[in-house]
Amino acid sequence: MRALLRGALAALMSGAMGAAAYAADLGALKEPPPPPPPAFDTYQPFQIRVRASAIVPDSGGATVYDRLGLVLPSVGLSAGAGSVVPGATTSISWSVVPELDVSYYLTKNIAIEAICCISRQHVQGTGTLYGASLARTWVFPPSLILQYHFTNFGAFQPYVGVGVNYTAYFSEAGNNLWWLNTPSAGVLPATFTSLSITPSWGVVGQVGFDYMFTENFGFNVDLKRILMEPNAHGVINVPGTAIYVPIDAKVNIDPWIASVGLTFRFGAGLVPPVLAKY
């Protein structure tokens, strides 16, 4: 009987040891665990974006003023110097241009972005100025924006920003012949002999997101609104006469800028964050 019990116990112990060895062999055959996901929020202090941007000016047009009040009152288009020319306004063409942005991240979340592009716009008359090509102008609107980037969504990184814009204009008068419809003198031929637009300062608002494929490369979508209302100065001439009519205008451009492009971040380990340590 004792021999039988000893045999049974030995068999149980041998089976348990075999099962343990088999389990160990199975563990050795398992695939290694997957690598950790990329660290998309690694602190990369420098960033460059290359984008295509559609610049769409506001449809608000312009308010046109009679500067001297010498001619327009006599044809029913002004109440005197400094008064509004009724019905005179403008429209501005939209354009698609390349855009280059350079950013420095003070922390993983806070960045300063400098934006630069240049576009060609066509300013045309509407209403009382219908048919007039007022000017073709190059617009240079550099902006500086303070941004906050959300980094708790992995590869998807939205951001918001606000900043300041300075815009310079390099204009030439349209110089086309058009017809000025006046209440008391009928239709008169007219042309713009000069037009200049003064530089302007404005506020910039921004929203957008990056989708990072790696910690260095990503895809960007961006929308900006620039409050831009420059003053313009021009001269209308009636061909064949000595009549010159100086006018002023407050032009409500206020463009929307919609952009798509590529993001490149670099510089990890080169400099520590300025405002916080990670």
Q: What is the pTM of this model?
A: 0.79
DSSP characters over 48-112: EEEEEEEEE--TT-EEEEESS-SSGGGGTS-SSTT-B-TTEEEEE--EEEEEEEEEEESSSSEEE
pLDDT-flagged residues of the chain (< 70): 1-32, 34-41, 60, 272-278
Question: What local confidence, expressed as pLDDT, does residue 268 receive?
Answer: 84
Question: What local confidence, expressed as pLDDT, does residue 134 receive?
Answer: 86
Question: What local confidence, expressed as pLDDT, does residue 194 receive?
Answer: 84
- Which residue carries 């313009």 as its tokens? 232
The residues, any chain, with a CB within 8 Å of residue 34's CB and separated by 6 or more, are none
Question: What local confidence, expressed as pLDDT, does residue 3 receive?
Answer: 57
Question: What local confidence, expressed as pLDDT, does residue 98 receive?
Answer: 94
Contact assessment for residue 198 and residue 232, using Cβ atoms and an 8 Å cutoff: yes
Question: What local confidence, expressed as pLDDT, does residue 2 receive?
Answer: 55
Class of domain 31-266: mainly beta
- Which residue carries 């064949």 as its tokens? 240
Element (H, E) at 173: strand 156-173
Structure tokens at 262: 């590529």
Question: What local confidence, expressed as pLDDT, does residue 5 receive?
Answer: 47
Query: pLDDT per residue over 109-125, tens digit each?
Result: 999 999 988 998 888 88
Question: What local confidence, expressed as pLDDT, does residue 41 receive?
Answer: 65
Domain boundaries, the chain: 31-266
Query: pLDDT per residue over 48-99, tens digit each?
Result: 999 999 999 987 688 999 999 888 998 888 888 999 999 888 888 899 999 9
